[in-house]
Amino acid sequence: MTTRNTSILCRPAMDNIARKRKYRKSLNACIDEMTSDCRSVVEYGCMFGDRLATLKMPEYKVGIEVHRPYLQVAKSRNPNAIYICADVLEFITQHFSFVGVDAIMMLDFLEHLRLEDALKVIDHAKKTARVRVIVFVPAGSHPQDSDPYRMGGDYWQTHRSTWNGDMLLELDFDAVHLPKFHRRNGTYVGDGAVFATWEP
C-alpha cells in the first residue's frame, strides 16, 4: 500500500521490509537507513532507548519518555542520547517545539494515545520534521491495559486507539503492511503492523 513517491532512500528500504519474513531485523535496518541522511532525530515515546541506540548516523539523538523507570533504563543503555521525561502531547503543545529537527520517530507510540490526540501529535511532527516522519503501529485490534515489563507503567502502556494502513495513507504517509508481526503466547494477534513514512 503506497500513495506518495517517497525518496530514493526510503522506497527501496520499505519494499525490502515487505518482502522479508524476519520483519524485526529488517525493520531496525530500515530505520537506521532512513535516518542515515539526518543529523538530528527525536523519538516520541522512546521507552528503553533501544531504537535510538541502534542508529548510526544522526549526531543528535533525543528521546522523550513519560515513564521515568523506562527512561532510567534508556540512559544506562544509550548514554550518548539526550533524554527528556515528559508527556509528549503536553510537551509539544505547551513547552517546546523542535525547530529544525531532521527526523521524528513514533514507534509503537501512537496506539497509546486517544485518536484525536495522536492526530495532533502527527500534525505537529509533520510541521516540524525537515526530512521525514517515521511511524510504526500495530494494525487492527491489540487490546492492552498493563505494563508487559512490570515496571509500573500500566497507564502509559494502555492502548487507546486502533490503526490500519489506510488511516496513515489518508494522512499522506507511505505505508507498508507487515502481516503476522505481533505474537502473544505463541499466537499471532491483530492484523500485524504498519510501518509508514512521511516526507515534506
Per residue in 62-110, pLDDT (tens digit) is 999 999 999 999 999 888 899 999 999 999 887 666 678 999 999 999 9
Mean pLDDT of 181-199: 79
- For the chain, give the longest Cα–Cα distance: 43
Q: How far apart, in Å, are the Cα atoms of 167 and each of 1, 2, 89, 118?
A: 11, 12, 20, 12
Please report the pLDDT score of residue 154 as a whole number: 96
In degrees rounded to 5, what are phi and psi of residue 4?
Answer: -100, 160
Q: How many residues does the chain have?
A: 200
CA dist 134 and 105 (Å) reads 5
Structural domains present in the chain: 10-198 (3.40.50.150)
Residue 123: the pLDDT is 95
Mean pLDDT, the chain, integer: 86
- 42 pLDDT more than 80: yes
**Helix, strand counts (H, E) of the chain:** 8, 9
Q: Is the pLDDT of residue 187 over 80?
A: no
Q: What is the mean pLDDT of residues 117-133?
A: 95
Mean pLDDT of 53-58: 89
Closest alpha carbon to 197 in 124, 135, 127? 135
Is pLDDT at 111 greater than 90 in this prediction?
Answer: yes
Task: Please state, in angstroms and as integers, the Cα–Cα distance from residue 68 to each residue in 84, 104, 121, 152, 192, following that order.
Answer: 9, 21, 21, 10, 29
CA distance between the termini of the chain: 19
21 pLDDT above the threshold of 60? no
Range scoring the smallest mean pLDDT among 15-19, 50-54, 82-86, 167-171? 15-19
Residue type (1 letter), 189: V
Averaged pLDDT for residues 2-15 = 50
Grid coordinates of 99:
525547530
The model's pLDDT over 143-176, given as tens digits with 9 standing for 90+, comes to 899 999 999 999 999 999 999 999 999 999 999 8
Q: Does the pLDDT at position 5 exceed 60?
A: no
For residues 174 and 11, what is the distance between their CA atoms, to the nearest angstrom?
9
Q: What is the pLDDT of residue 11?
A: 53
